[in-house]
Chain A
Amino acid sequence: MASAIAQQAAALCTAQAPRQQTRSAAKAFVGAPVQRKQSILGRSIVQSSSKQQAAPRSSALKVYAIRDGATLDRPLRVAVIGGGPSGACCAESLAKGGVEAFLIERKMDNCKPCGGAIPICMVEEFDLPMEIIDRRVTKMKMISPSNREVDVGKTLNDKEWIGMCRREVFDDFLRKRATKLGANLVNGLYMGMDVGADTITIRYNEYKEGDKVGTPTTLDVDLVIGADGANSRVAKDIDAGEYDYAIAFQERIRIPEDKMEYYKDLAEMYVGDDVSPDFYGWVFPKYDHVAVGTGTVVNKTAIKQYQQATRDRAKVKTEGGQIIRVEAHPIPEHPRPRRVKGRVTLVGDAAGYVTKCSGEGIYFAAKSGRMAGEAIVKYSEGGKKMTGERALRDYLDEFDRKYWATYKVLDILQKVFYRSNPAREAFVEMCESNYVQKMTFDSYLYKTVVPGTPLDDVKLLVNTVGSLLRANALRSADSKSVNVSFGSKSNAEKVTAAA
């Protein structure tokens, strides 16, 4: 009898829960206090939210057979899905710390479409050898919609450069290093996972030597790190949520020697409504060819038009070139809503750690992989104890705190300067100043938000406002850039506004 009443009460609660859940979830999203009313047998009980109240998806309700902190009789087992920079650096940190790491990569010679630019701090932090860096870019040109060119890079000394590398070479080096340190490299395609009481079972198709079709295999592990990139399967499996992403499209063009000489250590960035409504077009030198490309978030269907416009702008400088490869890839715009669930977390592009304005992702992917690995090693005390969500949340918190300022500053730059053609003209005009160049490169190359001197900052602010005002004054009344508006509209509205 009592159990029947309890069942009815439970049914009542769950019936009311969905509608209230969405409302309270919305309120919690903006930080307002949430009050849940549950009526059991006609009586209202108001529960105020506290830190201990479990959201439906949190792991506080989940009971594990082996609890966090329990000593293990075998080393901790972690599966890292995806062998790119984030996965390889995660596996390396795990292996160095004594944890048994399984690095599952589907294509060992994968050449991920990428700009391939790495900052100099990455070379030091990750002990990268000079052999994997094809070129050292020391000059950068920014070209405004009215073809005003500015040489950015005047303030670099001869020890500072941006490294351009081939992703297949770079990824391969990192994976081999992780394997040398003790990670188990597996050539396989991740298919899914089953979360059990005490282990997580990974299902994957293993590609043995020379096999075209993989054989389905399983692997039992304690934690899973999803490092499988922008189209992450692990993210789907843990219900991490969707994110906005840009589509980056690039053509690799082999140009004649004399034209290649111009791009020997120079990269170009083109901004303009014709090239992209919210990103930039680029010409980056690779080892014996250049990559010409562009990207967009709001108007992905028109990417070919933007690519054509970028090719046209660089037409004279890449004349006589042959296209050797055409490639495209999504780039996340912001992190996924939920980056951890139980004993599974995401790193790198799978988590969405790509900056705005510059679209840089390699460094943050590698750093997040390393941080996740180190957090697991720390909480498991070298693989001896079980660990779980606590360690993963610690990694997320550390990463968020450390790089939040960088991400926010780049977001503000994107919102202010990529908004319209006048704003882009002002941006290029601002980049002429030595102070701006120094600040930009210091923060890009060393990944710290450099404060700078107060007087110069005030001058910079005044000059920025002046540039923006002048550029906006110079747009004519019937220009397309007139109808600029604010707001985080949905993509569909943004496309109709941009068209």
Chain B
Amino acid sequence: MPVTMASLSSVSARTSPSPAVAPRRVVCASAPSDNGAGSSATLQKDRKPSPLQRGGTLQGAAAAGKDASDKFKSMAEGKQRSGPVLQMVDGRFSDFRWTGGRWDLSLFRDPKTGGTSWDAVIDAEMARRKLLEDSPIACTNEDPVLFDTAEIPWWAWVRRFHLPEAEKLNGRAAMVGYVLALGVDQLTGVGLLDQQNSFFGKVLLHVAVFGILLIRSSSDVDRFKGLIDEAFYYDKQWQSTWEGQERPSSDK
């Protein structure tokens, strides 16, 4: 059966075969196409199922877990699927997902959705930076670092970092706002809904929301005091020569 042998070899020449995907190449199947159990579901109507799809082959979830171990899978595929994780080997950063100076995003697959798991990428980059901060390594021309954090999409950052913080801040703003509203009600007798119409109520609402936005925790107050002092320190140093003196350009 020379034709079938040729078709078998052409199939095995493909890297990363995935049982769920129908074979791209039309394989000349000289044998009659009787569909074996469970092999017809993913085939296109006009393509005959290949010998590898028939004869009791399981597809998709039913075949899951029937692969050889990770090690041999990676050897067969030619791509590493495991290895050192976030380590310093011989003064170099070594991780099986870090190749060519960037994270190989195909190795960060999310098992549930099939796309890239951006959280895992963010975690890996955080860990890499921490590792290099604690033990800096020499910069070499042979291993340049090319990863740009802009490769991670904006919504991954928002979901991971902004949303929890926003939830916390909104919670605080709501609590503070409610207590203030109760206080205003007690003092002025204006009810919660009626306060929305009063100017004083609106002002307090804005104060609560923006206050919580800017001053997220008590340590922020000290930080902002220092910021204003720092922002103008250099200016003062430059102008100290002119202190108490008239500056020629001020006459013009």
Chain A interfacial positions (CB closer than 8 Å to B): 25, 28-30, 49, 51, 53, 55, 58, 143-149, 241, 243, 262, 270, 272-275, 309, 312-317, 334-340, 356, 393-394, 396-397, 400-401, 404, 407-408, 411, 415, 421, 425, 429, 432, 466-467, 469-471, 473-476, 478-481, 485-489
B214 at the interface (CB under 8 A from A): no
Number of A-B contacts (CB under 8 A): 156
Smallest distance from the beta carbon of A241 to chain B beta carbons, Å? 8
Partner pick for A312 among B136, B149, B222, CB 8 A cutoff: B136
A-B contact sample (4 more), CB < 8 A, given A144-B145, A145-B129, A400-B238: A28-B244, A408-B235, A473-B161, A488-B226
Whether B226 contacts A487 by the Cβ 8 Å rule is yes
B247 at the interface (CB under 8 A from A): yes
B155 at the interface (CB under 8 A from A): no
Whether B132 contacts A145 by the Cβ 8 Å rule is yes
**A-side contacts of B138, CB under 8 Å:** 312-317
Whether B227 contacts A487 by the Cβ 8 Å rule is yes
From A309, A314, A316, name the one whose CB has the most chain B CB atoms within 10 angstroms.
A316
Cα separation A108 to B223 with both chains bound (whole Å):
50
Whether B223 contacts A486 by the Cβ 8 Å rule is yes
Whether B245 contacts A486 by the Cβ 8 Å rule is no
**A-side contacts of B144, CB under 8 Å:** 147, 149
Whether B140 contacts A316 by the Cβ 8 Å rule is yes
As a 0/1 sequence over residues 223 to 238 of chain B, the CB contacts with chain A under 8 angstroms (1 = contact) are 1111101100111111
Cα separation A274 to B133 with both chains bound (whole Å):
8
B141 at the interface (CB under 8 A from A): yes
Cα separation A485 to B229 with both chains bound (whole Å):
12
B122 at the interface (CB under 8 A from A): yes
Whether A317 contacts B230 by the Cβ 8 Å rule is no
**B-side contacts of A471, CB under 8 Å:** 149
Cα separation A408 to B232 with both chains bound (whole Å):
10
Whether B136 contacts A396 by the Cβ 8 Å rule is no
30 pairs, CB–CB < 8 Å, chain A vs chain B: A29-B243, A58-B244, A146-B132, A148-B145, A148-B146, A149-B139, A149-B145, A270-B139, A313-B137, A314-B138, A316-B139, A316-B140, A317-B138, A317-B139, A393-B245, A394-B248, A397-B248, A400-B238, A408-B235, A421-B133, A425-B129, A432-B148, A470-B157, A473-B122, A473-B157, A474-B149, A476-B126, A486-B226, A487-B225, A488-B229
Cα separation A336 to B125 with both chains bound (whole Å):
44
Cα separation A466 to B149 with both chains bound (whole Å):
10
Cα separation A366 to B139 with both chains bound (whole Å):
36
B85 at the interface (CB under 8 A from A): no
From B139, B160, B243, name the one whose CB has the most chain A CB atoms within 10 angstroms.
B139
Whether A474 contacts B248 by the Cβ 8 Å rule is no
Whether A479 contacts B130 by the Cβ 8 Å rule is yes
Q: Which B residue's beta carbon lies closest to that of A309?
A: B136
Partner pick for B238 among A335, A466, A475, A485, CB 8 A cutoff: A335
Cα separation A335 to B241 with both chains bound (whole Å):
9
Cα separation A469 to B245 with both chains bound (whole Å):
44
Q: Which B residue's beta carbon lies closest to that of A312?
A: B138
**B-side contacts of A313, CB under 8 Å:** 136-139
Q: Which B residue's beta carbon lies closest to that of A272?
A: B136
Chain B contacts with A in 3-53, Cβ cutoff 8 A: none
Whether A339 contacts B157 by the Cβ 8 Å rule is no
Whether B141 contacts A470 by the Cβ 8 Å rule is no
Whether A334 contacts B223 by the Cβ 8 Å rule is no
B172 at the interface (CB under 8 A from A): no
B246 at the interface (CB under 8 A from A): yes
Cα separation A145 to B129 with both chains bound (whole Å):
8
**B-side contacts of A467, CB under 8 Å:** 149
Whether A393 contacts B248 by the Cβ 8 Å rule is yes
Smallest distance from the beta carbon of B127 to chain A beta carbons, Å? 7
B240 at the interface (CB under 8 A from A): yes
**B-side contacts of A312, CB under 8 Å:** 136-138
Q: Which A residue's beta carbon lies closest to that of B148?
A: A429
Whether B136 contacts A407 by the Cβ 8 Å rule is no
Partner pick for A143 among B133, B139, B148, B238, CB 8 A cutoff: B139
Whether B127 contacts A476 by the Cβ 8 Å rule is yes
**B-side contacts of A356, CB under 8 Å:** 234
Whether A397 contacts B247 by the Cβ 8 Å rule is yes
Cα separation A56 to B225 with both chains bound (whole Å):
33
B178 at the interface (CB under 8 A from A): no
Q: Which A residue's beta carbon lies closest to that of B140?
A: A316
B128 at the interface (CB under 8 A from A): yes
**A-side contacts of B246, CB under 8 Å:** 51
Smallest distance from the beta carbon of A20 to chain B beta carbons, Å? 14
**A-side contacts of B122, CB under 8 Å:** 473-474
Whether B136 contacts A337 by the Cβ 8 Å rule is no
Whether A486 contacts B230 by the Cβ 8 Å rule is yes
Chain B contacts with A in 43-93, Cβ cutoff 8 A: none
Whether B137 contacts A147 by the Cβ 8 Å rule is yes
B217 at the interface (CB under 8 A from A): no
Chain B contacts with A in 110-139, Cβ cutoff 8 A: 122, 125-130, 132-133, 136-139
Given contacts A55-B245, A272-B136, A488-B229, contact A407 B125 (CB under 8 A): no
**A-side contacts of B157, CB under 8 Å:** 469-470, 473
Cα separation A407 to B235 with both chains bound (whole Å):
10
Whether A474 contacts B226 by the Cβ 8 Å rule is no
From A338, A401, A474, A478, name the one whose CB has the most chain B CB atoms within 10 angstroms.
A474
Whether B241 contacts A338 by the Cβ 8 Å rule is yes
Which 6 A/B pairs are nearest by Cβ-Cβ distance?
A: A487-B226, A486-B226, A486-B227, A55-B244, A488-B233, A315-B138
Cα separation A421 to B129 with both chains bound (whole Å):
9
Cα separation A447 to B161 with both chains bound (whole Å):
40
Whether B132 contacts A487 by the Cβ 8 Å rule is no
Whether B129 contacts A146 by the Cβ 8 Å rule is yes
Whether B241 contacts A337 by the Cβ 8 Å rule is yes
B249 at the interface (CB under 8 A from A): yes
Smallest distance from the beta carbon of A259 to chain B beta carbons, Å? 10
Cα separation A126 to B16 with both chains bound (whole Å):
66
**A-side contacts of B230, CB under 8 Å:** 415, 486-488
Smallest distance from the beta carbon of A17 to chain B beta carbons, Å? 15
Q: Which A residue's beta carbon lies closest to that of B138?
A: A315
**B-side contacts of A145, CB under 8 Å:** 129, 132-133, 136
Smallest distance from the beta carbon of A317 to chain B beta carbons, Å? 7
Q: Which B residue's beta carbon lies closest to that of A334?
A: B237
Smallest distance from the beta carbon of B163 to chain A beta carbons, Å? 12
From B129, B154, B160, name the one whose CB has the most chain A CB atoms within 10 angstroms.
B129
